[in-house]
Each structure stands twice: as structure tokens, then as C-alpha cells.
Amino acid sequence: MVAKAERLKIRSVRVRAVAAPMRRPLATSTGAVTVAPLLLLDLQTDGGITGRAYLFAIGRQNLRPIAAVVEIMAEMLKGDPVAPFEIERKLRSKHTLLGVHNIVLFAMAGIDMCAWDALGQALGQPVVRLLGGSPRPVLAYNSKGLGIQPLRALVREAEELAAEGFSAVKLRLGRPKAEDDLAALRAVRKAIGTGMTLMVDFNQGLSVAEAVRRGRMIDEAGGVHWIEEPIRADDFAGCAKVAREVATPVQIGENFMGPEQMAQAIAAGCCDYVMPDAQRIGGVTGWMRAAALAQGAGLEMSSHLFAEASAQLLPVTPTCHWLEYVDWADPVLKEPPELRNGHVLCPSRPGLGMDWDEKAVKKYAA
């Protein structure tokens, strides 16, 4: 089996776009998501093994350019061994002058996750074992809803999410008036009870001054586990000011463009927790580097989206905190992530444990 993995070479990467329906469309302070535009990647090898991963394009208009970058990279890698670190080194070298950010990094991350998936399949092991860990349940919070909406609908949704068995939920804030945010916070807290953990997310919707003002209001209200992305994601100096002025912990990281930017954020002292996104941090390879940074800084590390990959990565993260659970890819997966008692179960299937429901892929083709 090991010899088979050593000989495995990349033949091609197939890219398909789908618009997966969302059970709960999500409205945030900076935009709404009503369907999940996904790119499904199939890294095909000369050994008959196919490594799979998906990318989240945020909007349908982004599917085509991201797919084009993936296809260009696939041509560069044709005939290369399925060796994730070597693949990353080559792609970074080829894109140094352009810059390894945004959709360039997205494409690299997708290929990286595919390569780890293929390698796991070749070795007959889940990715978590390749990384030195073992499959175990990961504590998750329910992030499928609680967007910006009228209070009555918000309370009803909070009660429904609380009934799904999770011990934590996340509420989106960032309404035009701070008082309306506070009313939403109080209504959700009353609906879910004091026994559940509550996070809030501003989705970068505030100025620094307003983030401090609303953060202090949240401090007074109490009972909030973290305040997520209160201001523009790349304003580390501004976020450091918010973190200093507000008692409730500040969480950022879903927009870290690679481990390098995470290192800059940690150096700036701009957050209390970190939550990298597998797509933006650089896939499995980038995640492991980020996990080492978090351990060195003593920062608890959570995940953003990508529950399937995150369930394999958080068990080998020394400062493992929370897995963000959304079900946006479920409509096109043969076996969506399994939930039990507020945890996402790490599958013991080889690789990342994902396979496509081809009928659904055809149905939701974008």
C-alpha cells in the first residue's frame, strides 16, 4: 500500500460548479447567502484513485474565475507525484510574483485538500491518522442560521436550532442601530436559555469606534462567548484596539490569507481566539502551520465552514476549540458529516471521507 502511494502521480483535476440549496438562507451585515455556490474538485491520479475536495465561491459570479485558476494549476502539476508539501512548494514558486492570496490561494488550498484525500485513500487511512491523530468527535456550534431578520422569526429559528442538539449557536449582528442588535441578542439568549453557549458575528460590519461601543454594550449584557470579526478583516491595528477596549473575547481568522497573515495578526495582538478557514489558510498543509502558530501563541483555534475537513483537522490541533457546523455541502455529498450530542464525528473512511452524490451534482449544476 505504501509503495502504491509513493508511485501515485497526478493525471488531471476535474472542476464542476454547483449551486447547492440552503435550508436556511443567511443574511449578514455585509450581504446575504441564499444558495451555496461550490466548486467540486476531483484530482484524478494514474493509479485510479480520485482525491476530492470542494471550494466555497461565496457568490455564483466567482465560480468561473476560481475554476479557471484551478485548471491552470492542474496543467502545471500534470505528472507530478501526489505529495502535498511538494505541490504547495511548486505552486507557491510559480505564483510568487502574482501573489499567493485570494483566489490563487483558494485554488491551491483545493488542490492541497484533494492531494491529502488521495494520499489517505492510497494508504487506506483517514487524513487525521496521516497527521498523527485519531478520529474523535469534535465539539461544534450550530452556525446554520440566526441571520439578520425580524425578531419574531429570529426567536423561532433560535428555538429550532437549539432543539437540534448542539450546545452552542452563533448570532449575526450588525444592524443599523446598536439598540436593535442588543434587542436581538437578548431575544435569542432568552429563547435558547442560559445553558447554551452563544457567539456573535458582525461580519466586518462596524468601524473601530462603533465596534468598541457595541462591544461594551455586549459586555454589559453578558453571556457572549466571543465577538467575531467586528471590523474589516485586515485591519489588525484597529482590531487590537477593539480587543483592548472590550472585555468579551474577540475572534477573527476566517479571512486569514495563509499562515503568514495569521502570524501578522498574532503579532499585532488583535484577537483572543483564532478560526482559520481551510480554503483561505491553504488547505490541510496551511492548517497545520496555522495550528503550530496558535499553539505557540497560546490561542484557542476553531474552524470556519468546511465541517468535513475540519473534523479531520481539529483533532490534531493542539489548541482545538470549536468546529463551526454548517450543512451547505450536504445536498451534494453521499455521506454528509454525522452529528451526535453536539459533536461532529470524524469519519474513519480513508482520506477526507467525501464522495459526491452524482445525481444531486447533476441536478444542482451551475
Phi, psi (rounded to 5 degrees) for 150: -55, 150
Q: Mean pLDDT score of the chain, rounded to an integer?
A: 96
Place of cell 505529495: 83
DSSP 320: B
How do residues 18-67 score in pLDDT, each as one tens digit? 999 998 888 898 888 889 999 999 999 999 999 999 999 999 999 999 99
Quick check: 87 and 121 in contact, CB under 8 A? Answer: no
Residue 176 has pLDDT above 80, yes or no: yes
Quick check: 300 and 199 in contact, CB under 8 A? Answer: no
Global pTM? 0.96
Contacts of 247 (CB under 8 A, 6+ apart): 219
Question: Cα 304 vs. chain centroid, distance in angstroms?
Answer: 3
Q: Is 181 buried (19+), middle (13-18) or exposed (0-12) by CB count in 10 A?
A: buried
SS3 state at 223: coil
Q: Copy the grid coordinates of residue 113.
A: 485538500
Question: How many CB atoms are closer than 10 A to CB 156?
Answer: 13
How do residues 335-348 score in pLDDT, each as one tens digit? 999 999 999 999 99
